[in-house]
């Protein structure tokens, strides 16, 4: 397999049982084979996507002193995480990125509200948190429908995952990979890793950079069209299905030297369950 399969969520949402089953079969087989798909027909509007990119670029362009005021002592669960702080399991070198964390907006569950840190409000950008919350909700909604399709593929009740992911400890992570100013010392934008959560929904995989390791050990480019999300299986879902659905190792490589002077942005949504799962 030299590219990731493409599927359309509108098939699953249609009243046509043939189209719905076709989507279930396609996404299930893709997650058995390589663990990644490109998905169109999701709930993000072009306007919302453009607004989010504008807001996160505004944030990452703030002076570093201001950004550091949003780096809190909460284990990196919410707010700003500065450049080079995160490294992949087994790596000493920090990844060449800075990022932000939006967390769950808990509804009607005081126990979970007390369990999760509060989201951090950016005072300099009045629309930043509003746009972040809207994006969070639409990606979460998309993820729930993907899990419903996978539940049917696994011959479970369609709503098997619903109560596990409602108010789940999910994270929206806008990432900025700044321009590379000098030869990196054994560091890449994101070293090879697997995700720990149920599924990850990724915005911003339109250019080269994200790579997926197939069953033969080859690295292939995981590129999506502008209207597509890249969605992959995480370790929790792989474990739940006894590895029937694959949590695939992936990475973000450094660009060719002639493109070192450019920033890259990507925005993964890590869909997590509630802790009881």
> pLDDT digit string (tens) for 206-240?
667 788 887 788 888 888 888 999 999 999 999 99
Asked whether residue 90 carries a pLDDT value surpassing 70, the answer given is no
In a domain, residue 10? The reply is yes
Sign of the CA dihedral running 224, 270, 89, 235: negative
In a domain, residue 79? The reply is yes
| Cα 110 to Cα 80: distance, rounded to the nearest angstrom | 25
Query: Cα-flanking dihedrals φ and ψ of residue 136, to 5°?
Result: -55, -50
Structure confidence by residue, pLDDT tens digits, 41-69? 999 999 999 999 999 999 999 999 999 99
In a domain, residue 71? The reply is yes
- In our burial notation (b when 16+ CB lie closer than 10 A, e otherwise), range 98-136 reads bbbbbbbebeeeeebeeebeebbebeebeebbebbeebb
Average model confidence (pLDDT) across the chain: 88
Domain of residue 162, residue span: 6-205+226-271
Q: What is the DSSP string of 6-30?
A: EEEHHHHHSS-HHHHHHHHHHHHHH
DSSP 253: P
Structure confidence by residue, pLDDT tens digits, 172-217? 999 998 887 666 666 555 678 888 999 999 997 666 778 888 778 8
In a domain, residue 1? The reply is no
In a domain, residue 57? The reply is yes
In a domain, residue 115? The reply is yes
Q: How many domains does the chain have?
A: 1
Dihedral Cα 112, 68, 192, 51, nearest 10 deg: 70
| Cα 256 to Cα 236: distance, rounded to the nearest angstrom | 34
Structure confidence by residue, pLDDT tens digits, 243-260? 999 998 888 776 667 667
| Residue 253 neighbours by CB distance under 10 Å | 16
Confidence (pTM)? 0.90
Tell how far CA 101 is from the center of its chain: 11
Q: What is the CATH number of the domain that holds 193?
A: 2.60.120.330
C-alpha separations of 244 from 233, 237, 255, 261 in Å: 11, 9, 33, 41
In a domain, residue 244? The reply is yes
Asked whether residue 72 carries a pLDDT value surpassing 70, the answer given is yes
In a domain, residue 169? The reply is yes
Dig out the tokens for 60 from the structure.
């990452």
Cβ within 8 Å of residue 40, ≥6 positions away: 6, 7, 8, 9, 10, 225, 227, 228, 229
Q: Name the residue among 228, 231, 173, 235 with its Cα closest to residue 206.
A: 228
């Amino acid at each position: 397999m030299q590219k990731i399969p493409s599927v359309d969520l509108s098939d699953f949402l249609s009243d046509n049982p043939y189209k719905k089953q076709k989507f279930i079969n396609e996404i299930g087989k893709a997650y058995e084979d390589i663990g990644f798909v490109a998905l169109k027909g999701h709930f993000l509007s072009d306007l919302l996507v453009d607004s989010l990119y504008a807001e996160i670029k505004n944030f990452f362009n703030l002076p570093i002193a201001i950004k550091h005021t949003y780096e809190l002592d909460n284990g990196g669960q919410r707010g700003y995480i500065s450049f080079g702080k995160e490294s992949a399991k087994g790596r000493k070198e920090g990844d060449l990125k800075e990022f932000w964390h939006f967390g769950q907006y808990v509804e009607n569950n005081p126990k979970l509200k007390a369990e999760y840190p509060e989201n951090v409000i950016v005072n300099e950008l009045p629309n930043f948190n509003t746009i972040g919350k809207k994006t969070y909700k639409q990606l979460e909604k998309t993820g729930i429908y993907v899990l419903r399709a996978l539940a049917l593929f696994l011959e479970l009740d369609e709503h098997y995952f619903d109560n596990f992911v409602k108010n789940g400890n999910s994270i929206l992570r806008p990432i900025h990979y700044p321009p590379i100013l000098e030869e990196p010392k054994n560091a890449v934008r994101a070293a090879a890793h697997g995700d720990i959560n149920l599924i990850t929904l990724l915005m911003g995989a339109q250019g080269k950079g994200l790579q997926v390791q197939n069953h033969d050990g080859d690295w292939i480019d995981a590129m999506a069209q502008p209207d597509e999300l890249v969605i992959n299986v995480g370790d929790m879902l792989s474990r739940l299905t006894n590895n029937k659905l694959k949590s695939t190792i992936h990475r973000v490589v450094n660009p060719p030297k002639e493109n070192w002077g450019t920033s890259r942005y990507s925005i993964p949504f890590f869909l997590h369950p509630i802790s009881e799962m």
